[in-house]
Amino acid sequence: MKNPCSLPKFTLLSVILLTLFCGYSTTFAQSNNPGPKFGIKGGLNLSQLYVDQPNVEDESMKVGIHFGVFGKIPINSFVALQPEVLYTNMGSKVSYGGSDFENLFGIESGEVRFNLNYIQVPLALAVNLGPLNVHAGPYVSYLLSANVNNWRSSEMSPTEVRELNTEDFNRIDYGVVVGVGFDIGAVNLGVRYNYGLREVGNEGLAGNLTNNSKNSVGQIYIGFGF
């Protein structure tokens, strides 16, 4: 014969366990996506153009910076939109060689440094897994200024390539970003890769020097949310 008190005890235990489980799940979900957040961020850029041209002897990364503001807007317990507005410095260091290069373009053999300064607006979709978030999405950038210097092999100081100016480069750039971040309280640390989908050089000398190259930038950043 069944104990008449067993059913109520079992029901009470089930209610308690269910309440604890729901409370834990809610807390976990909230901790994954703690609500709207806005803040400032900044860090280092490691950029390269990957110029594919016969006269290129070597190409190395250019170190730059980025900084700006970001937002994090929850969609559900685990997914959030992450819009940003950043100032970002890109480019590359390219060593050209060969007398034909000097005759054609008027640039002496040596290293040419491309400095491209953009306002960038990424819009990433972030998936939050505890303190870890994985994010990806498109970006669009506007070129504020371009500065190109020729570090000639026969000199120790740069000479500005006067034939080039901002108008020789495409003003609008666009592409995709993908990255991983860690939220530790109000602090966000992360790494990100930016892959451009539009050619950097517009036409003429800029197009010849960059040979239809696109922006390629790795980033390390730190952010502070409020």
Cβ contacts of 190-195, under 8 Å, gap ≥ 24: 190/133, 190/220, 190/221, 190/223, 191/218, 191/219, 191/220, 191/221, 192/135, 192/218, 192/219, 192/221, 193/217, 193/218, 193/219, 194/120, 194/139, 194/218, 194/219
Give 182's contacts (C-beta < 8 A, 6+ positions apart): 131, 132, 133, 188, 189, 190
Better-predicted residue by pLDDT, 147 or 10 = 147
pLDDT in tens, 85-135: 999 999 988 877 655 555 555 556 677 888 999 999 999 999 998 889 999
Give 147's contacts (C-beta < 8 A, 6+ positions apart): 115, 117, 160
Q: Residue 157: pLDDT above 80?
A: no
Q: Residue 77: pLDDT above 60?
A: yes
- On whether the CB atoms of residues 4 and 184 are closer than 8 A, the answer is no
pTM above 0.75, yes or no: yes
pLDDT of residue 158: 58
- On whether the CB atoms of residues 179 and 143 are closer than 8 A, the answer is no
pLDDT in tens, 1-52: 445 444 455 455 555 544 544 444 444 444 556 667 899 999 999 999 877 7
pLDDT of residue 212: 76
pLDDT in tens, 191-202: 999 999 999 988
Longest dimension (CA), the chain: 105
pLDDT of residue 34: 60
Q: Mean pLDDT across the stretch 141-146?
A: 95
pLDDT of residue 135: 97
pLDDT of residue 69: 98
- What is the chain's percent helix, strand, coil content, to nearest 5? 20, 60, 25
pLDDT in tens, 40-68: 999 999 999 877 766 677 778 899 999 99
